[in-house]
Protein backbone atom coordinates (compact mmCIF):
# COMPACT_ATOMS: atom_id res chain seq x y z
CA UNK A 1 0.00 0.00 0.00
CA UNK A 2 1.28 3.46 -0.88
CA UNK A 3 1.89 5.44 2.29
CA UNK A 4 0.70 9.08 2.40
CA UNK A 5 3.20 11.30 0.61
CA UNK A 6 5.17 8.33 -0.73
CA UNK A 7 5.99 8.00 -4.43
CA UNK A 8 4.81 4.87 -6.21
CA UNK A 9 8.38 3.91 -7.16
CA UNK A 10 9.43 4.01 -3.49
CA UNK A 11 6.45 1.85 -2.52
CA UNK A 12 7.25 -0.74 -5.18
CA UNK A 13 10.89 -0.82 -4.16
CA UNK A 14 9.92 -1.20 -0.48
CA UNK A 15 7.28 -3.88 -1.11
CA UNK A 16 9.48 -5.99 -3.37
CA UNK A 17 12.64 -5.58 -1.34
CA UNK A 18 11.62 -5.36 2.31
CA UNK A 19 12.15 -9.01 3.24
CA UNK A 20 15.53 -9.32 1.48
CA UNK A 21 17.55 -6.51 3.04
CA UNK A 22 20.57 -8.79 3.50
CA UNK A 23 20.80 -9.22 -0.27
CA UNK A 24 22.68 -6.03 -1.16
CA UNK A 25 23.08 -6.91 -4.81
CA UNK A 26 19.35 -7.46 -5.20
CA UNK A 27 18.65 -4.13 -3.52
CA UNK A 28 21.04 -2.45 -5.92
CA UNK A 29 19.28 -4.05 -8.90
CA UNK A 30 15.84 -3.17 -7.55
CA UNK A 31 16.88 0.43 -7.03
CA UNK A 32 18.22 0.60 -10.58
CA UNK A 33 15.09 -1.07 -11.96
CA UNK A 34 12.58 1.12 -10.13
CA UNK A 35 14.59 4.28 -10.91
CA UNK A 36 14.31 3.71 -14.65
CA UNK A 37 11.84 5.35 -16.97
CA UNK A 38 8.38 3.88 -16.54
CA UNK A 39 4.92 4.14 -18.04
CA UNK A 40 1.98 5.31 -15.90
CA UNK A 41 -0.83 3.14 -17.25
CA UNK A 42 -3.63 4.73 -15.24
CA UNK A 43 -4.11 6.91 -12.18
CA UNK A 44 -7.49 7.66 -10.65
CA UNK A 45 -10.92 6.28 -9.83
CA UNK A 46 -11.73 2.63 -10.59
CA UNK A 47 -15.10 0.94 -10.71
CA UNK A 48 -15.20 -1.42 -7.75
CA UNK A 49 -17.97 -3.24 -5.91
CA UNK A 50 -16.72 -1.73 -2.64
CA UNK A 51 -17.31 1.85 -3.84
CA UNK A 52 -20.05 3.85 -2.11
CA UNK A 53 -21.36 7.42 -2.35
CA UNK A 54 -18.93 8.41 0.41
CA UNK A 55 -15.90 6.25 -0.34
CA UNK A 56 -14.33 4.80 -3.45
CA UNK A 57 -11.23 3.07 -4.72
CA UNK A 58 -8.50 4.94 -6.58
CA UNK A 59 -5.44 3.27 -8.03
CA UNK A 60 -2.20 3.93 -9.83
CA UNK A 61 -1.03 1.30 -12.30
CA UNK A 62 2.59 1.63 -13.43
CA UNK A 63 4.58 -0.46 -15.91
CA UNK A 64 8.29 -0.98 -15.31
CA UNK A 65 9.64 -3.14 -18.14
CA UNK A 66 12.38 -5.74 -17.58
CA UNK A 67 13.24 -6.53 -21.19
CA UNK A 68 15.86 -9.17 -20.41
CA UNK A 69 14.30 -10.64 -17.27
CA UNK A 70 17.62 -10.26 -15.43
CA UNK A 71 16.02 -8.72 -12.35
CA UNK A 72 12.51 -10.11 -12.15
CA UNK A 73 13.52 -13.71 -12.96
CA UNK A 74 15.52 -13.77 -9.72
CA UNK A 75 13.04 -11.90 -7.57
CA UNK A 76 11.25 -14.10 -5.03
CA UNK A 77 7.74 -12.83 -4.40
CA UNK A 78 6.47 -13.04 -0.84
CA UNK A 79 2.95 -12.42 0.36
CA UNK A 80 2.45 -9.45 2.65
CA UNK A 81 -0.44 -8.12 4.66
CA UNK A 82 -2.03 -6.45 1.61
CA UNK A 83 -1.05 -8.94 -1.12
CA UNK A 84 -1.69 -12.38 0.31
CA UNK A 85 -1.65 -14.35 -2.95
CA UNK A 86 1.12 -12.60 -4.89
CA UNK A 87 2.60 -14.67 -7.73
CA UNK A 88 3.92 -14.42 -11.28
CA UNK A 89 1.43 -15.51 -13.94
CA UNK A 90 1.22 -15.69 -17.72
CA UNK A 91 -1.51 -13.46 -19.08
CA UNK A 92 -3.90 -14.78 -21.72
CA UNK A 93 -7.48 -14.17 -22.87
CA UNK A 94 -8.90 -16.54 -20.25
CA UNK A 95 -7.14 -14.91 -17.31
CA UNK A 96 -9.69 -13.24 -15.02
CA UNK A 97 -8.64 -10.14 -13.10
CA UNK A 98 -10.35 -7.97 -10.51
CA UNK A 99 -12.06 -4.66 -11.34
CA UNK A 100 -10.30 -2.67 -14.11
CA UNK A 101 -7.05 -4.67 -14.02
CA UNK A 102 -7.66 -6.40 -17.37
CA UNK A 103 -7.89 -2.99 -19.06
CA UNK A 104 -4.53 -2.01 -17.53
CA UNK A 105 -2.93 -5.24 -18.78
CA UNK A 106 -4.34 -4.58 -22.27
CA UNK A 107 -2.84 -1.06 -22.30
CA UNK A 108 0.57 -2.38 -21.22
CA UNK A 109 0.40 -5.16 -23.85
CA UNK A 110 -0.27 -2.56 -26.54
CA UNK A 111 2.50 -0.26 -25.29
CA UNK A 112 5.04 -3.11 -25.17
CA UNK A 113 3.89 -4.65 -28.49
CA UNK A 114 2.98 -7.94 -26.79
CA UNK A 115 -0.46 -8.61 -28.25
Question: Tens of pLDDT along 23-47?
Answer: 677 778 778 888 888 889 999 998 8
In a domain, 75, yes or no: yes
In a domain, 53, yes or no: yes
What's residue 51's pLDDT? Answer: 93
What's residue 9's pLDDT? Answer: 74
Which CATH number covers residue 78? 3.90.79.10
In a domain, 3, yes or no: no
Rounded (10°) angle between helices 8-17 and 24-35? 160
| Range list of H helices, the chain | 8-17, 24-35, 101-112
| Number of CB atoms found within 10 A of residue 34's CB | 21
| Full domain range(s) for residue 24 | 8-112
Least confident of 4-8, 55-59, 84-88: 84-88
At 63-97, the pLDDT tens digits run 988 888 887 887 777 777 667 777 777 777 777 77
In a domain, 2, yes or no: no
The structural domain count of the chain equals: 1
| Number of CB atoms found within 10 A of residue 86's CB | 12
Q: Is the pTM of this model over 0.85?
A: no
Amino acid sequence: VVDPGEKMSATLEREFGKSREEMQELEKQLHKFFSQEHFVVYKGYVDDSRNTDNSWIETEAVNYHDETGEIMDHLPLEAGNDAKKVKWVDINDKFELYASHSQFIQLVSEKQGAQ
